[in-house]
Every structure is written in C-alpha cells, then in structure tokens.
Amino acid sequence: MRPVAISVDSSTESAALCKNAGYTYTFLSDPNAEVIRRYDLLHRGAGVDGKDIARPAEFLVDASGVVRWRNLTEDLRVRATSIDVLKGAQGLP
C-alpha cells in the first residue's frame, strides 16, 4: 500500500513538512488545484488568505487504477483511522 499525499502546498512547503514530521512517503504539489478540481474536491476560499484548497478526502486505488474505497469526511475534525483504511484495503487483490 503506497500512501500519496496531495495538497496545494508547493514542493518546498511539503518538503519542509516532511522534514519536520519525519514523513517518508510521496507528497505531491497541486498549486493551482487542477487535480483537486479533477477529483471535484475543491474548497473555495478555505485556505489561508482565501486560497482555494482541497477538502479532505482519501481514496484507495488498486493496481489497475480503480477506486476500491473512499472516505469523504463530513466534518473537518473527523478523520479515517488506520483501521478504517486497512478494512478498505482488505478487498484488494
């Protein structure tokens, strides 16, 4: 299972975050929210200084590129736990 994180943060900002928090997985930068829009996850003006950012969402994508599990939280404070993700991953070949 390969985690890939996406946000509007620049590569530099994400690199700093990974360094501070010790993350080693892939962090991708979507500064114009193009991919965020493609996934219909745009949250207009919700960022600092009214920037357009992503609303939180997780997708488990199998080796053939098909979504097998997804989590669209209704509340910013409520996040999927690793148990939720592992349950979702059980369906993967």
Interface mask toward another protein for 24-53; x: CB under 8 A? x-xxxxx---xxx-xxxxxxx-xxx--x-x
Q: Hey, what are 58's tokens?
A: 């997780």
Nearer to another protein, 22 or 24 (CB): 24
**Complete DSSP assignment for 15-56:** HHHHHHHT--SEEEE-TT-HHHHHTT-EETT-SGGG--EEPP
| Contact between 81 and another protein per CB under 8 A | yes
Classify residue 56 by its DSSP letter: P
List interacting residues with another protein (CB under 8 A): 1-9, 11, 13-18, 24, 26-30, 34-36, 38-44, 46-48, 51, 53-70, 72-79, 81, 85, 89, 92-93
